[in-house]
Amino acid sequence: MAAERSGGGDPARTIALLWRKPPEPKPVGRKPKVSVDQIITAAIAVADREGLGAMSMARVAQELTVGTMSLYTHVPGKAELIDLMADAVLQERDLTSDGTWRDRIKHYADRTRAVYQAHPWMRDVSMVRPPLGPGLMDGQEFVLAALADAGLEPRHVTTAHIAVEGFVHGAAASEVDDQQLEEKTGESGDSWWGARQLFWDDYFDVERYPTMTSLWNAGAYDTGGTLSDTVRDSFDYGLEKLLDGIEGGLR
């Protein structure tokens, strides 16, 4: 299921961690073997390599050659750790403001897509109650600024913002799903579809699905490229059309 995220924990503690508010100095007491940043880095490394499902507290502790329970001294729990991981990778986008508002939104989409590519486990992190850290906030500011520059009314800026964010994150997530499955199952998307050839042979009903049949006969599915290419092209097309629509609403 979607990985649970900062649920019961104290919001103030989580937000302080997200913004790396330094804890008041501790002059006495045992020296820490690990830092919050080390934990986040190790957790991201594990999730990158083995998926979010494999990112257990025990596994991260092992990575740092530390006892499992030591992590809980630095991080409230697994849900909060995932928040920290997500905000950290969103910061990698490093957004630069050049060009028209459309260029900037496409830049945002590309950078966000790159984050998902590099960290496929982001697919499993819900962005509905997002980690309110710098990575997320900087991205929001960037998109809002672009939309405001486009000339939308303030009220429409916020509406369009949610639509664009939804499209971008959704597209990036879908695109990455395939790779994630590939890593987990060791089977590529193309091979997966190949193994289901028997569906088309034995179950596909030409009369029930006339449009699919005629599209097939018209060669609409002879793309030449891989599945991933097709999906990426489709999302580029979709974003373009969404921006066309937003732009058209201005006139």
Partner DNA sequence: TATTGTTTCCGTATGGCCTACGGAAATGGG
Partner DNA sequence: CCCATTTCCGTAGGCCATACGGAAACAATA
Summarize as ranges the residues that interact with DNA (CB under 7 A): 26-34, 54-59, 66-70, 72-74, 77-79
124, 170 in Cβ contact below 8 A?
A: no
| Contact between 116 and its own copies per CB under 8 A | no
Cβ count within 10 A of residue 250: 10
| Nearer of residues 55 and 109 to DNA, judged by Cβ | 55
Decide which of its own copies, DNA, none touches 160; Cβ closer than 5 to 8 Å per partner kind: its own copies
- Partner whose binding site includes residue 166, from its own copies, DNA, none (CB under 5 to 8 Å by kind): its own copies
Residue 41 near its own copies by CB under 8 A: no
Long-range pairs of 97-104 with CB within 8 A, sequence gap ≥ 24: 97/142, 97/145, 101/146, 101/147, 101/149, 101/150, 102/150, 102/243, 102/247, 104/142, 104/145, 104/146, 104/149
User: Per CB under 8 A, which region of 66-74, 97-105, 107-115, 173-181 contacts its own copies?
Assistant: 173-181
In the complex, what is the shortest distance from the CB of residue 235 to its own copies, in angstroms, rounded to a whole number? 6
Q: Which residues have CB under 8 Å from 238's CB, separation 6+?
A: 167, 171
Residue 26 interacts, among DNA, its own copies, none and using kind-specific CB cut-offs from 5 to 8 Å, with DNA
Torsion, CA 33, CA 38, CA 39, CA 42, rounded to 10: -120
* Minimum distance, C-beta of residue 203 to its own copies, in the bound complex (Å): 6
